[in-house]
Structure 1
């Protein structure tokens, strides 16, 4: 009898013993003077940090205590300017945090705080006193930006040096004063363009418009032969290049965060060595079914654990290893997306996954109605277009091996209308554009049947779209073994293409972006019936005779392209073997 109260007390106490809060990094970004040339400062926000010793590991190196300043749940790191970019994580006792990517890249921009934005005449939230300047190439960017800052009583606070882009904090108390200063600064002969940041109320990076969700999800991947591609990769002999140790392939995913407490990602906590396996780095989110978790999960989620399934994770032990870096620099809109992309490319990313895009106010969909998804004003669009143009010019000049894979958008509009849609409207070999399809419930044919799928009603379309892929997937969940809700959109078709492109490059690292597009199109199945360009109803660029061995009467010619992941891997191996 005397033992019963003690047993009762132990039972009550047990849940509290198990409820030790997880150690998670929720923010990591440059802080202090972003233009500092002698040292680098990084600020971290950490959840679950406790009193007692805390170790900070950057790659294989444990940072010295004098480089780490700790205050409550915040850390500040002060590192030499020559510190190499690497994954960083925390250790406290037996607990390990999520690894985040610490980039020592020079491209860093500031996000406006809640007191530094206003609603403009279009009802969009607009930055009041932070603007970006694209300086003409013939000028030394930083010196010219500082000259202009002094002239207009402003301050240079951020930069993307490879693009000659500099962020200024201007002395504007409202949007009227801002616009007046923009006109004056924009008239300077050394200024190519002024970039104004705006944001919109959508929760997701590519929230679907009037989305209707059918409960299918992962089964949609059958239409792209994902499981067949995994089987081929795992069992084909001599698939990877012989003669040297395989190099892990790095993929940059422009997203805010993902949930490392979800079973889909819990295996990626702590240090990760990418040789022969997949590693994921990113800031921790509070929700398992967020946009970043779903996009990253298509690439790397643990199979059968918590809703999503990662294509690259299925190639562990047979592939060269893949590093999936989820990073967005800061919350400074499109400028931050480009800053993060530049740093990731300079850090060795071969693929950039852009599951984002914007429409200009006034964009019309295929029915003639105005698009209200992710819209921006004309002044913002003009600046973004110039910034994106500079990015792709730099990419072609300095990193011609890098490929950007971008969602077509979910406005049911034309993806190639360059005045109304960015960035998918850009025409460059280094940009692949992905639309979204869904299973056709009326089709009774095989997976090769063009009517097996139909275009997702919300997906943007036209000849600028290179290929379509499954738009629907099951999101990650907080509980192991539980099926996630179905999320749909071109955001989720895009990483499916990024995943197979990563696998293709692991088979033949010599493939150039234009060759990747060619192989994806040559291997593609078709979708729907015949579409005439004069009717502007092409779902993708129509398949050409040259993409079907110059057979003019081939039944695929004139139809739109649907991703075939297995065939794409086969063609990647054939392309390597032909060079031998």
Structure 2
């Protein structure tokens, strides 16, 4: 009776062996506070038999690995953060960044969330405490947990922030405990998590999605050509510096032609390398954001800016990392880990609005909104993050999307994180090509403001908001996606390239060079723009060699990738 089944079983095993090998999940599990870190990896395509797990190119010992079907458990002692991948026979998985930095938080399960009075999904029994800096955060969190019958389950230790699981069965009990915890002398703020933050920041579906070459408005190809020629120039060649970039996104589809080349071994000292969990579709938010930086040339329908610099650069490491599904708290935890792992640039293509935020027309913003309770906690958490950056990592720059609510980016009661005023945060708006074909690329009329893009003085610069999504088939052009989410990595890529040319540039100097090199968009309003037409902070005379009558003064700033790189080269001697 069993004999007829044998051919079917053999065919099934062969089919599994031919299936691509992928890592779809990787995050801390079990005790998140233990010094010995345990990671759980969820895989696809793992066949029966021996599996090799490599961290930083070195195979982990069998004693550190335990397998349960498609799930791998990795028990690691202290070691450096590094890319991790698995091999089985001739097959090799996508590389994923494994951070040993230690900041991790738990995400709520479906039965651990509820709808609040604003109709938003919120965590019932998981909150985070920001402990006053004069206290030992771990000890104080443990004391408070014991006092209130809670348990410490996660931590962002550099920010003195600890996650507690409360003895709460509903929101009434949770809010009562939050009120009591918030009144403790040692507690700076309580962070209440509301729904996930991975929602796309793309513009409204009714907005026009142009099919022209949007990146020409930022001199994308000119910048690639300049870098490729200037770095190895015979006269005064430049020794480029490897740069690490952190992208706060969920995953990337390595089955897409744009990313399939990253399945092969990659030397980060010689070319662009990409590390990410594998996605199940090529046109997701993470794939599109990462593709603007790292899509392979001559593979799919896209061309990544940093991958276009291969051969001249000393390499870029693009790390797509999200920590867990715990919303904004996880975004911050992942950012802390990436900074501690050496990332100089952090890309935040996300943001949130407070319930009741108004757009430029006076209507309420209806996407990516959070309650006042949640916004208060997030604001304190982000403030701690930027204070920590300023103190411990002053050379790191965060590049953040302005948002797509047709609203304002600068008021902290309405929008986070873009409202923070710090040299280490660049805020990016979005533009698209105008209908005019009779003007030069540097003419302000070459582009128009994206109707959905958030605006005002806090926006530092705009970039092309529309790009093509990746596809599974090679050389196929994907659907157009638009939003400030996609303008942001354009600037992140340029900033990373500038740092590779001059790693001594500080965040304030990077902003200065981006603004000095910028082209313009919009009219000249003599510093008093009307009807929310101030897409960015107006260009000042000091940003145009103090020429009071310069035609750019008073206009909004638009990214010029080629000129920004040129100024970065000049800064090697002039800006210190």
TM-score bracket, normalised by the shorter chain, equals over 0.9
**1:242, distance to aligned residue in structure 2 (A):** 7.9
Are the counterparts in 2 of residues 90 and 96 from structure 1 also a CA contact under 8 Å?
yes
Mapped to 1, the partners of 2:239 and 2:65 lie a distance apart of 36
Are the counterparts in 1 of residues 517 and 560 from structure 2 also a CA contact under 8 Å?
yes
Mapped to 2, the partners of 1:349 and 1:31 lie a distance apart of 24
- 1:171 and 2:167 equivalent? yes
**Which structure 1 segments of 5+ residues have no match?**
1-12
Among candidates 29, 46, 50, match of residue 47 of structure 2: 50
Partner of 1:8: none
- 1:205 and 2:203 equivalent? no
Are the counterparts in 2 of residues 257 and 285 from structure 1 also a CA contact under 8 Å?
yes
- 1:225 and 2:213 equivalent? no
Report 1:84-103 matches (<5 A): 84-103=80-99
- 1:126 and 2:122 equivalent? yes
Among candidates 367, 385, 388, match of residue 391 of structure 1: 385
Among candidates 32, 35, 39, match of residue 34 of structure 1: 32
Are the counterparts in 2 of residues 208 and 373 from structure 1 also a CA contact under 8 Å?
no
**1:305, distance to aligned residue in structure 2 (A):** 2.2
State the secondary structure of the residue aligned to 2:488: helix
State the secondary structure of the residue aligned to 1:533: coil
- 1:235 and 2:233 equivalent? no
Alignment RMSD, CA only? 1.8
Report 1:304-383 matches (<5 A): 304-383=298-377
- Relative to 1, partners in 2 of residues 1:240 and 1:518: Cα closer, same or farther, differing over 3 Å? farther
Partner of 2:504: 510
Partner of 1:401: 395
Among candidates 149, 153, 163, match of residue 157 of structure 1: 153
Among candidates 528, 536, 539, match of residue 533 of structure 1: 528
Report 1:17-28 matches (<5 A): 20-28=18-26
Mapped to 1, the partners of 2:233 and 2:481 lie a distance apart of 33
- Relative to 1, partners in 2 of residues 1:214 and 1:89: Cα closer, same or farther, differing over 3 Å? same
State the secondary structure of the residue aligned to 1:577: helix
State the secondary structure of the residue aligned to 2:20: coil
Are the counterparts in 2 of residues 213 and 487 from structure 1 also a CA contact under 8 Å?
no
- 1:519 and 2:510 equivalent? no
- 1:65 and 2:59 equivalent? no
**1:304, distance to aligned residue in structure 2 (A):** 3.4
**1:307, distance to aligned residue in structure 2 (A):** 2.4
Provide, for residues 479-519 of structure 1, a one-character-per-residue CA deviation record: whole Å limited to 9, x for no partner. 11111100000000000000011111111111000000000
**Which structure 2 segments of 5+ residues have no match?**
1-10
- Relative to 1, partners in 2 of residues 1:374 and 1:35: Cα closer, same or farther, differing over 3 Å? same
- 1:302 and 2:296 equivalent? yes
Partner of 2:256: 262
Among candidates 263, 266, 288, match of residue 282 of structure 2: 288
- 1:449 and 2:408 equivalent? no
Mapped to 2, the partners of 1:444 and 1:18 lie a distance apart of 56
Are the counterparts in 2 of residues 158 and 168 from structure 1 also a CA contact under 8 Å?
yes
**1:237, distance to aligned residue in structure 2 (A):** 5.2
Mapped to 1, the partners of 2:130 and 2:187 lie a distance apart of 6
- Relative to 1, partners in 2 of residues 1:30 and 1:203: Cα closer, same or farther, differing over 3 Å? closer
Are the counterparts in 2 of residues 468 and 563 from structure 1 also a CA contact under 8 Å?
yes
**1:245, distance to aligned residue in structure 2 (A):** 6.7
**1:56, distance to aligned residue in structure 2 (A):** 0.3
TM-score, length-scaled by structure 2: 0.95
TM-score, length-scaled by structure 1: 0.94
**Range with greater deviation from structure 2 (434-443 or 336-345):** 434-443
- 1:542 and 2:538 equivalent? yes
State the secondary structure of the residue aligned to 2:552: coil
**1:17, distance to aligned residue in structure 2 (A):** 6.8
Partner of 1:5: none
Provide, for residues 159-200 of structure 1, a one-character-per-residue CA deviation record: whole Å limited to 9, x for no partner. 000000000000000011100110011000100000000016
Provide, for residues 519-567 of structure 1, a one-character-per-residue CA deviation record: whole Å limited to 9, x for no partner. 0000000001123436343110000000000000000000000000000
- Relative to 1, partners in 2 of residues 1:529 and 1:166: Cα closer, same or farther, differing over 3 Å? same
- 1:577 and 2:573 equivalent? yes
Among candidates 424, 429, 443, match of residue 423 of structure 2: 429
Are the counterparts in 1 of residues 254 and 260 from structure 2 also a CA contact under 8 Å?
yes
Provide, for residues 292-327 of structure 1, a one-character-per-residue CA deviation record: whole Å limited to 9, x for no partner. 000000000012322221000000011010000000
- Relative to 1, partners in 2 of residues 1:385 and 1:230: Cα closer, same or farther, differing over 3 Å? same
Are the counterparts in 2 of residues 240 and 506 from structure 1 also a CA contact under 8 Å?
no
**1:212, distance to aligned residue in structure 2 (A):** 1.9
Mapped to 2, the partners of 1:125 and 1:199 lie a distance apart of 5
- Relative to 1, partners in 2 of residues 1:213 and 1:289: Cα closer, same or farther, differing over 3 Å? farther
Are the counterparts in 2 of residues 119 and 125 from structure 1 also a CA contact under 8 Å?
yes
Mapped to 1, the partners of 2:263 and 2:234 lie a distance apart of 28
Mapped to 2, the partners of 1:461 and 1:264 lie a distance apart of 32
Provide, for residues 453-482 of structure 1, a one-character-per-residue CA deviation record: whole Å limited to 9, x for no partner. 001000001000000000000010011111
Report 1:239-250 matches (<5 A): 246-250=240-244
State the secondary structure of the residue aligned to 2:18: coil
Among candidates 459, 483, 489, match of residue 483 of structure 2: 489
